């Protein structure tokens, strides 16, 4: 079954907005064993969008399009579909009422332009949008199934999961494709590749790939078969092997985040955590609360961006600050201890460092230098890191490693696949 | 001049590798006033690549392709070009010697497969590759200029900068293109479109577009002309008009963030700020420190995720918490006041709310409800919002609006373009 993905919007072509819908659709197609044959992006230009749809139905059996379903005059997808596929637009009263109700919920009148979103090409089914006003469209043209979704990523995602992917799953029944991901942190791509050398010879049915992200390197293994049971056995075995070879660097599987892994570990042990952040400015806290239910184990934190705040809110000693400097192992440890005690948590994690581009004043303290501290009732410890990249990279990496330091201090990972090689 | 960008490689379609070449080419095209009309991605499949090239030369005057020039059997671009454009492949001895020499430099023998990289379609010019073995190709088919480059981003980038972009600059000589962006927050796409109705009639030379982001709606205006001075006058006038129509919702221009605008305002007034966050868990602080130099005006903050922390670290009254609930205007205001005083800042901003998906227990307090507080020595104020979308959306929107509340309370915006319509 050949699939074409079409993303519509001028902002996707001029480098202003990253095309996240493509990655999302790629991931979701993989879940049902599919892969796009073509992906086309086109600006908000009626003639060009029409040309892209015409080409797509000619060469693909499934077309998934995002964008151009908004209410404004530069949202052209509905009109182009009507023209290219010769389907009259009909005002759908049910949809119109639904859009009006959505505005009413927020205490607003529906602006007249939004009426356009209730125009449905004849014969098309409506895909409900629970997160916004633009409904999606599904129709068949000759032998091609077309799905048109809004461009807003969260809306497109929900409609893909609830409608499009289930449709495709039904159509591809029989062929199973498996994809497993082992996520690692604290080890580079080439060092990881060395640990995995020989893996592809041992597992010839699998495809292996790596992707470097700010949070670490993800290792992917995939395979396809009509024998789903065999597929699972092979993937289970390979995943376990990957996990063992990656050792303490492996932290999660699939889309699991460090925040989720840490949260589960805290919940499982009935522990609470607090944060004390200097140069990450709240990023560690923000990562922790990204996981739903985090209020059960996250007490809160202090963003001690200034030395005054480190003293007054975290009880860091003025002497320590003066003698060792704000970016030091000692200050990181006192910050973690202060947060743990002030917030009444079982443990706490801290960050202090130099995000750059300026600020590296003292010799031996370059941009990217960071100390991460950890505190429990039994005492404090810290790690020294030098992170590369832009200011945003340094902050993101420091936050990820602070979560990872907490994970390792809580002894997470060993329990899932037997003792790992703590190196 | 219409441009099509083609990126070749199966890894780009399955969501495993981010297509960075597209963003890169978009940025570089903008430098010479161009924008791709189409962007197509296709896997390593000869028939499909051929189909994509055929479509591209039909609809674009310039085609820039990356990928498929490596030495292995799944690198098909050279062969496809030979077939589609009926150009015999000829072994280029100079190129072959160059590839051999490159291996020799690294103390290696050239593997036989690499010989394929010296096969050049008849009539094509070779684009030198100083970073790898794959040479690029440039040739003309009817009225279309085609450039084929390797997929490795660093190699493609160098060849774009050294060869392709200079070629295009020569071809577009004299034509200037201008793009202006006005960023807004707190107003929906359709409400903004109504404020701008008639704009395109008044400014017929301009193209207008809108992009909705978590932080608000960006309005783009662009135009092309051979008269650069005229272009600037027209864009200046239109930008000012946009700014005035958007009123207090307009906060920045170009790529400016709320964090940068707020930081500049604080610096200009010699003021400092502190944060008090509940459900945003540090996101507001993280946004503030994303701007370099923020240590000059950001004192730090408290992440008061639990009620205990709100009391002990921010002096929120237990009575207020019990009577009004943690998600209330009163608590937001006390939090801001507490942070301002505890951190010794001139002003402070606070967030309290329900991020979801669970947590909406009390009637009248739905998921997405947020109170944002602001405090100065003169007193406190707060705003009530209901944000839609996923947990991540709600948190991101609340953080953006907290920065915006601070911006508005500091009176930013009026001074740049005269008094705005405070509605």
- Tell me the C-alpha to C-alpha distance, in Å, between residue B97 and each of A122, B94, B222, B346: 63, 5, 47, 69
At A416, the pLDDT band (50, 70, 90 cuts) reads very low
Nearest CB to A15; choose among B26, B52, B55: B26
Q: What is the pLDDT of residue B247?
A: 92
Query: Are A11 and B220 a contacting pair at CB < 8 A?
Result: yes
CB within 8 Å: B281 and A285: yes
Antiparallel, parallel or unpaired: β A136-141 and A207-213: unpaired
Give residue B421's pLDDT.
30
Q: Which residues contact B201 (CB under 8 A, 6 or more apart)?
A: none
Taking only the tens place, the pLDDT of each residue in A260-293 is 999 999 999 999 999 999 999 999 999 999 999 9
In this prediction the pTM is 0.78
Shortest distance between the Cα of A86 and any Cα of chain B, in A, equals 23
Interface contact B289-A298, CB threshold 8 A: no
ipTM of the shown complex: 0.77
Instruction: Say if A17 is an interface residue toward chain B (CB within 8 Å).
Output: yes
Residue of B nearest to A314 (CA): B313
In this complex, is the C-beta atom of B41 within 8 Å of any C-beta atom belonging to chain A?
yes
How close, in Å, is residue A100 to chain B by CA atoms? 13
A35–chain B nearest CA distance, Å:
6
Chain A's closest residue to B211, CA to CA, is A11
pLDDT tens-digit profile, chain B (423 residues): 899 999 998 878 866 677 888 888 987 887 787 889 999 999 989 999 999 999 999 999 999 999 999 887 778 999 999 999 999 999 999 999 999 998 888 788 888 888 889 999 999 999 999 888 889 999 999 999 999 999 988 889 999 999 999 999 888 777 777 888 899 999 988 889 889 888 877 888 888 888 777 778 999 888 888 888 888 899 999 999 999 999 999 999 988 999 999 999 999 999 999 999 999 999 999 999 999 999 999 999 999 999 999 999 999 999 999 999 999 999 999 999 999 999 999 999 999 999 988 776 666 789 999 999 999 999 999 999 999 888 998 999 999 999 999 999 987 654 443 223 322
What's the 3-state SS for chain A?
CCEEEEEECHHHCCCCCCCHHHHHHHHHHHHCCCCEEEEEEECCCHHHHHHHHHHHHHHCCEEEEECCCCCCCCCCHHHHHHHHCCCCEEECHHHHHHHHHHHHHCCCCCCHHHHHHHEEECCCEEECCCCCCCCEEEEEECCEEEEEECCCHHHHHHHHHHHHHHHHHHHCCCCEEEEEEEEECCCCHHHHHHHCCCHHHHCCCCEEEEEEECCEEEEEEEEEECCHHHHHHHHHHHHHHHHHHHHHHEEEECCCCHHHHHHHHHHHHCCCEEEEECCCCCHHHHHHHCCCCHHHCEEEEEECCCHHHHHHHHCCCHHHHHHHCCCCHHHHHHHHHHHHHHCCCCEEEEEEECCCCCCCCCCCCCCCEEEEEEEECCEEEEEEEECCCCHHHHHHHHHHHHHHHHHHHCCCCHHHHCCCCCC
Residue A308: which pLDDT band, with cuts at 50, 70 and 90? very high
List chain B residues with CB under 8 Å of A111.
Answer: 190-191, 193-194
**Domains of chain A in sequence order:** 3-171 (3.40.980.10), 176-253 (3.30.70.2860), 258-414 (3.90.950.20)
pLDDT digit string, tens, across residues A204-262 = 888 887 776 767 888 888 887 878 888 889 999 999 999 999 999 999 998 899 999 99
CB-based contact (8 Å) between A303 and chain B? Answer: yes
Report yes or no: A162 at the B interface, CB cutoff 8 Å: no
State the pLDDT at residue B414.
45
* Chain B 42-81, residues with CB within 8 Å of chain A CB atoms: 42-43, 45, 48, 51-52, 55, 59
Contacts of B55 in chain A (CB under 8 A): 55
At A422 the pLDDT is 29
Q: Does A191 touch chain B (CB under 8 A)?
A: no
A301 part of contact set with chain B, CB < 8 Å: yes
Q: Tens of pLDDT along A1-60?
A: 899 999 999 888 876 677 889 888 988 887 787 889 999 999 999 999 999 999 999 999
Taking contacts as CB-CB distances below 8 angstroms, the residues of chain A near B308 are 299, 343-344
């Amino acid at each position: 079954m050949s699939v074409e993905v079409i993303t519509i919007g001028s902002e996707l072509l001029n480098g202003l907005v990253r095309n996240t819908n493509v990655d999302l659709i790629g991931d979701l197609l993989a879940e049902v064993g599919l892969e796009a044959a073509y992906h086309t992006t086109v600006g908000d230009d009626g003639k060009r969008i029409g040309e892209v749809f015409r080409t797509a139905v000619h060469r693909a059996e499934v077309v998934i399009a995002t964008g151009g379903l908004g209410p404004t005059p530069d949202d052209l997808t509905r009109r182009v579909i009507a023209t290219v596929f010769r389907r009259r637009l009909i005002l759908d009263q049910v949809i119109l009422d639904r859009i009006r109700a959505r505005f009413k919920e927020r205490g607003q009148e529906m602006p007249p332009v939004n009426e356009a979103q209730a125009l449905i090409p004849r014969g098309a089914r409506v895909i409900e949008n629970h997160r916004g006003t633009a409904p999606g469209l599904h129709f068949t043209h000759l032998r091609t199934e077309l799905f048109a979704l809004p461009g807003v990523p969260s809306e497109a995602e929900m409609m893909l999961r609830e409608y499009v992917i289930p449709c495709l799953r039904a159509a591809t029944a029989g062929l199973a494709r498996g994809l497993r991901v082992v996520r690692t942190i604290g080890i580079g791509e080439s060092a990881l590749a060395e640990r995995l050398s020989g893996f592809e010879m041992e597992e010839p049915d699998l495809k292996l790939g790596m992707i470097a992200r700010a949070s670490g390197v993800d290792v992917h293994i995939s395979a396809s078969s009509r024998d789903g049971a065999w597929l699972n056995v092979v993937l289970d075995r390979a995943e376990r092997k990957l996990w063992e070879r990656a050792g303490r660097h492996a932290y999660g599987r699939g889309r699991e985040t460090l925040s989720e892994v840490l949260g589960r570990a805290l919940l499982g042990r009935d522990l609470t955590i607090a944060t004390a952040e200097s140069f990450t400015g709240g990023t560690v806290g923000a990562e922790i609360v990204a996981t739903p239910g985090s209020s059960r184990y996250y007490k809160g934190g202090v963003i001690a961006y200034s030395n005054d705040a480190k003293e007054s809110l975290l009880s860091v000693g003025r002497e320590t600050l003066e003698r060792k400097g704000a970016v030091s192992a000692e200050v990181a440890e006192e910050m973690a201890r202060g947060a743990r005690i002030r917030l009444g948590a079982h443990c706490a994690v801290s960050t202090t460092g130099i995000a750059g581009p300026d600020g590296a004043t003292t010799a031996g303290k370059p941009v990217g230098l960071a100390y991460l501290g950890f505190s429990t009732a039994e005492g404090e410890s810290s790690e020294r890191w030098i992170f590369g990249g832009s200011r945003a990279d340094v902050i993101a990496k420091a936050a990820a490693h602070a979560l990872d330091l907490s994970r390792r201090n809580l002894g997470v990972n060993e329990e899932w696949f037997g003792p790992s090689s703590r190196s």
